[in-house]
Amino acid sequence: MKNLFILFLFIIPMSLIAQEIHVTQTTKLEIGHPAYFPSFGNNKDILLISSPNYKGLTVFNISDNSEIFITDALGAGNQPVMESSGKITYHGIKFHRGRKQRVEMNFKTDFQSVNKVNIENNIQVKVDGKQLKIYRNNQLKSTIQPLGNYYYLWASVSPNQEQLLFTVVGKGTFVSDLQGNSIQEIGYLNAPQWLNNQWVVGMNDKDDGEQILSSTIEAVYVKTLKRTTLTEATEVVALYPRISPTSDRLVFHTPVGEIYTLEFTIND
148-182 residue pLDDT tens: 999 999 999 999 999 999 999 999 999 999 999 99
Predicted confidence (pLDDT) per residue in 25-81, tens digit:
999 999 999 999 999 999 999 999 999 999 999 999 999 999 999 999 989 999 999
pLDDT of residue 122: 87
Look at residue 88 and tell me whether its pLDDT is greater than 80.
yes
Of the listed ranges 25-29, 94-98, 202-206, 246-250, the one predicted with least confidence: 94-98
9 touches 222 (CB < 8 A)? no
pLDDT of residue 145: 97
CATH of domain 21-267: 2.130.10.10
* Phi, psi at 190, each rounded to 5°: -90, 160
pLDDT of residue 38: 98
Burial of 63 (0-12, 13-18, 19+ CB in 10 A): exposed
The SS3 of residue 27 is strand
pLDDT of residue 154: 97
pLDDT category of residue 116 using cuts at 50, 70 and 90 = very low
Closest CA to 47 of 58, 32, 56, 34: 58
* Residue-range domain boundaries for the chain: 21-267
Predicted confidence (pLDDT) per residue in 223-254, tens digit:
999 999 999 888 899 999 999 998 999 999 99
Look at residue 131 and tell me whether its pLDDT is greater than 90.
yes
pLDDT of residue 8: 46
pLDDT of residue 175: 98
pLDDT of residue 113: 67
- In percent, the amount of the chain with pLDDT more than 70 equals 88
Look at residue 7 and tell me whether its pLDDT is greater than 70.
no
Burial of 174 (0-12, 13-18, 19+ CB in 10 A): buried
Look at residue 9 and tell me whether its pLDDT is greater than 50.
no
